Amino acid sequence: MFECEVKNWEGDPAGQKTFELRVAKEETASHIVHRALVRQMTNSRQGTASTKTRSEVRGGGRKPWRQKGTGRARAGSSRSPLWRGGGVIFGPKPRDYNLKMNRKERRLALRTAFASRLDDLVVVEEFSEQFSRPKTKDLVSAIARWGISADNKTLLILSERSENVYLSARNAPKIKLLIADQLNVYDLLHADKVVVTQSALEKIQEVYSD
């Protein structure tokens, strides 16, 4: 059971919010979160890097010079890896970097990562209605009122996408907006502060409870 103070749009205390998430045991928590983080980062790699071996480089079919009698080292192809313009030895080839992780483990790692940010978590009341039109300045001012420095990387979590809030956050380089059902370990750990609305917190409990 976790308990957080809730702030309103003006930054004043507006009550308490309790939520419950099943997290990993203390002795295994860092291990499972690390595995989930490594999985996410490696799975984002395209794996399309490719170099040509000596058999794939164009040319080099004719023997550059005769085998004996020239005083030079013997050579069979101008596309040898020893030559400029030749092939590459043990260079990268297209491959799949994906790592597998059980769904239950992924969910457990996500809940554990979220709970680990409790000291940096700011719970706020729903504020989408405050934006009748996109206004980045208003959103940045609100985050400052919630006690977050302008230099901090802030992860803003909403229960559902609000177009005006999305457009307001898009122009702020230190703010990243996510929907509650699209959380990931990297963004949770990368942010300096995490701002979550009450409805988003309830949705996190609902979506990631099992």
Q: What DSSP line would sit under 115-150, residue for residue?
A: HHTGGGEEEE---GGG-SS--HHHHHHHHHHTT--T
pLDDT at 1 over 90: no
Phi, psi dihedrals of residue 101, rounded to the nearest 5°:
-155, 135
Is the pLDDT at 71 greater than 70, yes or no? yes
Q: Mark whether 62 and 140 lie in a shared domain.
A: no
The answer to whether residue 145 scores a pLDDT higher than 80 is: yes
Q: In this predicted structure, what is the pLDDT of residue 210?
A: 67
Residues 133-162 have a mean pLDDT of 90
Under 8 Å between Cβ of 159 and 197: yes
d(CA 6, CA 17): 6
Q: Are residues 66 and 77 in the same domain?
A: yes
155 and 198, same domain (yes or no):
yes
pLDDT above 90 (res 7): no
Paired sense of beta strands 2-7 and 121-124, if any: parallel
Give the residue numbers spanning the domain of 18.
2-44+100-207
Q: Are residues 113 and 182 in the same domain?
A: yes
Same-domain check for residues 171 and 83: no
Q: Looking at the structure, tell me whether residues 120 and 20 fall in a common domain.
A: yes
Q: Which pLDDT score is estimated for 57?
A: 94
What tokens appear for 156 in the block?
Answer: 């803003």
Rounded-to-integer distance, Cα 88 and Cα 107, Å: 42
188 and 116 within one domain:
yes
Q: What share of the chain is helix, strand, coil (3-state, %, to 5)?
A: 35, 15, 50
Counting residues of the chain whose pLDDT is more than 90, the rounded percentage is 58
The pLDDT score that the predictor gives to residue 11 is 80
Q: Do 115 and 87 sit in the same domain of this protein?
A: no
**Are residues 20 and 32 part of one domain?**
yes
Say which CATH number the domain at 151 has: 3.40.1370.10
pLDDT band of residue 2 (cuts 50, 70, 90) is: confident
Measuring CA to CA, how many Å separate 164 from each of 8, 128, 160, 179, 184?
19, 8, 12, 14, 23
Q: At 18, which helix (H) or strand (E)?
A: strand 13-19
Q: Note whether 18 and 86 are same-domain residues.
A: no
What distance lies between CA 210 and its chain's CA centroid? 22
Percentage of the chain surpassing pLDDT 70?
100
47 — pLDDT class (breaks 50, 70, 90) = very high
Same domain, 76 and 108: no
| Number of domains the chain is built from | 2
**114 shares its domain with 137:** yes
Q: Is there a contact between 17 and 6 (Cβ–Cβ < 8 Å)? A: yes
At residue 209, the 3 state secondary structure works out as: coil
**Residue 192: predicted pLDDT:** 93
**Final residue of a domain: which of 66, 96, 126?**
96
**∠ Cα 43 44 46 (to 5°):** 100
**Domain termination site, one of 77, 96, 115:** 96
Cα–Cα distance between 173 and 169 in angstroms, integer? 8
